[in-house]
Every structure is written in C-alpha cells, then in structure tokens.
Amino acid sequence: MERCYRPVMHRCHPVPRVVLLSDARNDGRLESAISRLPPGSALVFRHYHLPPAARRARFARLRRLCARRGVIVITAGEARGLRADGRYAAPNDLGRAPGLRLATAHSLAEIGAAVRARASAILLSPVYPTRSHPGAAVLGSLRFLSLARRSPLPVIALGGMTRRRAARLPVWGWAAIDGLA
C-alpha cells in the first residue's frame, strides 16, 4: 500500500515516516527518544500539562535538539510563540496553519474532512489498544487497513504502535507515544 504514495513534500519537509508524540508520560525520556529517531522523523509537541511559560521553554529546548538530529517539530494545541514546522490537529482545527499539516482521524468521515482541510497526511487511530485511552474501541489492523486504503493522503498509524507492529502495516508511516520513548 505504501507504494501508492509518491514521496510527499510540503514546502521543504517531506511527510515523516516516524512520528513521536510528546506528553506528560514520556517527557522525562524525550531527549533519549529523539536521539534515536532517524533524520526526517517528526516530534509532535503536545505538552498540554505545562503552563504557557514552561511549555515555551520546553519547546525551545526540544526544538534545538531536534534541529541537531534532523527531526522536524510539529505543534499541537496552543502554538502562539512557538516556531514549528507544522501543525497537528483534528481536521476542523488545522485552520490555515503553515508547514506540514498532520490531521487526526478515526473514521472515513474524518479522513474526508482531513482531505477537505488540505492536510499533508493523516494520523489514523487507534489501531491497537493504547495506554492513552484505556478501554477505548480500537480499529484493529483489518479495519485500519480498510480505511487507510481509501485515503488519498499518506496514512500514519497511531495507537498502540511499536516498531514490530508498524512493520506489518503497509502504510506511509507510524507514530507512538510510548512505543518510541
């Protein structure tokens, strides 16, 4: 399936094949995780748990490390004052954000919304059970692949992902919180 997509570029950054999402759980391991990411990967900086000044300071430190490693930085949530390479949000919240535009999707309707919002790629989730949303319904690999095949945009698998699971899903890339940290 990944052969369906030609290398997707948006401005000067291709759509990443590996995406690390940050949060309070993995904050203490981010520097180590970023140092292991291949160049061209992305960090989605969420850090919703921090107050604004601390969030800006943490962003600046991680952005410098990412720049040295060739990892792009995408923001989620409030991004004022954060110089990022793109935006991560639900399709209706992408707005006119410059740079890479990574949309979240959980259904065919949300994939359609991401296309209409001119997203660069879709993070389709949750593929498998995840600690982020314990007990939540999951797509499973068959439903995930059925949805991914219908997407005209590159699909990045999210939710309970590990390197091994990603290798079995023929899509553009994969993303994780715990699986990479």
Q: Please return the burial class of 5, using the count of CB atoms within 10 Å of its CB with bins 0-12, 13-18 and 19+.
A: middle
Q: pTM for this one?
A: 0.90
Identity of residue 141: S
- Tens of each residue's pLDDT in the chain, 181 residues: 443 444 454 455 799 999 999 989 899 999 999 999 999 999 999 998 899 999 999 999 999 999 999 999 999 987 778 889 999 999 999 988 889 999 999 999 999 999 999 999 999 999 999 887 788 899 999 999 999 999 999 999 999 999 999 999 999 999 999 878 6
- List the structure tokens of 81: 């004052």
Of 97, 84, 85, the closest CA to residue 15 belongs to 85
Look at residue 147 in the predicted model and tell me its pLDDT.
98
Q: What residues pair up with 158 in beta bridges, in sequence order?
A: 175
Look at residue 6 in the predicted model and tell me its pLDDT.
45
Look at residue 1 in the predicted model and tell me its pLDDT.
45
Q: Pairing mode, if any, of strands 9-10 and 13-14?
A: antiparallel
